[in-house]
Amino acid sequence: MAIIELREVTYKYPATEKPALEDIKLSVEQGEFLAIVGSNEAGKSTLCYTISGFVPHFFHGELGGDVQVAGLDLKEAKLNEWVLNVGLVFQNPFNQISGSKFTVFEEIAFGLENLGVNRSEMIERVEHAMERTGISDLADRSPYSLSGGQQQKVALTSILVMEPKVFVLDEPTSQLDPIGAREVFQVIKEMSQAGITVVMAEHKIEWVAEFADRVIALNAGQIILEGTPQEVLTSPTLPENGIGSSRYTQVAKQAREEGLYPEDGLLPISLDQAVAGFSGGNYAD
């Protein structure tokens, strides 16, 4: 059952003439991990802001079409109603820290405090959320003493504790090293497997290939490709529109041109697929 529905959605920021999104049609199932790829200014962040309700309630502007999430209509619902169902995680975790709390535990509890959740339930929910994201050992640390990866986990946990139905993430690993990025992706994948719907804009194609259930590619505010990671991430349409592909796909394409990779074999999007392909084996789509 779809939890997110966008029908013919077009959006223009205030004082602009060109739409940032144009005629977007998108349906996302509950528990699905949807990745959004595209070049800079393709509309990835704007699509994230639209699903999370910041467009048009915070950025204002002109929104056409219909946006529904968890049974609510974006044009009719208020932002404080919308955010109870949808949590947004930004690129820079530093921007998501409130600055008003001294410990990680207090920071994660901040949203529940604003909702007036009673103390015993708040403590239980915070402890449970920290266990799920593997940061219980950081409870008494200052949020500002943490690494980038740890701060991003705190940001994720601060949203998780609110128990949203949908997680929206705008390039959450853009400032992380490979180890931190993998840790964050693993946490997000576990959330999806637990039934939370995940929508993520991301540049790191290798991580998208490994963790996403479905991928859409944006260019100039429009969806140009949609399908499985295998279908989208090996399409020649990506480089034609300034969108990168995984290193494994690039190497296999070059090897195929030189007769070193099977003509009838699927192009790989992961290391395991590349090993199988260059060994003359097969792998499942």
Q: 């528990």: which residue's tokens? A: 31
| pLDDT tens, residue order, the chain (285 aa) | 799 999 999 999 999 999 999 999 999 999 999 999 999 999 999 999 999 999 999 999 999 999 999 999 999 998 888 988 999 998 887 788 888 899 999 999 999 998 899 999 999 999 999 998 889 999 999 999 998 888 988 998 999 999 999 999 999 887 778 887 888 888 888 888 888 999 999 988 988 998 899 999 999 999 999 999 999 999 999 999 999 899 999 999 999 999 889 888 789 999 999 998 888 755 544
Same domain membership, residue 127 and residue 21: no
Task: Tell me the Cα Rg of the chain.
Answer: 20
Say if residues 163 and 142 touch (Cβ distance below 8 Å).
no
Say if residues 138 and 104 touch (Cβ distance below 8 Å).
yes
Same domain membership, residue 182 and residue 75: yes
Same domain membership, residue 265 and residue 138: no
Same domain membership, residue 178 and residue 55: yes
Residue range(s) defining the domain that contains residue 151: 100-163
Say how many residues make up the chain: 285
At residue 282, the pLDDT reads 52
93 found inside a domain: no
User: What are the CA-CA distances from residue 68 to residues 74, 165, 170, 278 (Å)?
Assistant: 6, 13, 19, 45
Say if residues 177 and 204 touch (Cβ distance below 8 Å).
no
Q: Last residue of a domain, which of 141, 163, 185? A: 163
Q: What is the dihedral sign for C-alpha 250, 35, 209, 237?
A: negative
53 φψ region: left (φ > 0), alpha (ψ -120 to 50), beta (else): left
Q: 């991928």: which residue's tokens? A: 215
Which residues 6+ apart lie within 8 Å of 178 measured at CB?
Answer: none
How many domains is the chain built from? 3
Cα separation, 47 vs 27, in Å, equals 13
Same domain membership, residue 180 and residue 61: yes
Q: Last residue of a domain, which of 163, 183, 204? A: 163
Same domain membership, residue 253 and residue 202: no
Q: 């963790």: which residue's tokens? A: 211
At residue 281, the pLDDT reads 54
Say if residues 181 and 204 touch (Cβ distance below 8 Å).
yes
Same domain membership, residue 67 and residue 38: yes
Cα separation, 45 vs 181, in Å, equals 19
At residue 125, the pLDDT reads 96
CATH of the domain at 208: 3.40.50.300
Same domain membership, residue 60 and residue 48: yes
Q: 């946990």: which residue's tokens? A: 157
15 found inside a domain: yes
DSSP 121-145: HHHHHHHHHHHHHT-GGGTTS-GGG
At residue 285, the pLDDT reads 46
Same domain membership, residue 180 and residue 73: yes
Same domain membership, residue 70 and residue 138: no
At residue 99, the pLDDT reads 82
94 found inside a domain: no
Same domain membership, residue 171 and residue 147: no
Residue 170 structure tokens: 């705008």
At residue 92, the pLDDT reads 80
122 found inside a domain: yes
255 found inside a domain: yes
Same domain membership, residue 142 and residue 117: yes
Name the burial class of residue 3, with classes exposed (0-12), middle (13-18) and buried (19+) by CB atoms within 10 angstroms of its CB.
Answer: buried
At residue 179, the pLDDT reads 82
Peptide bond into 14 cis (omega under 30): no
Return the exposure string of 116-145: e unless at least 16 CB atoms fall within 10 Å of the residue's CB, then b.
Answer: ebeeeebeebbeebbebbebbebeebebee
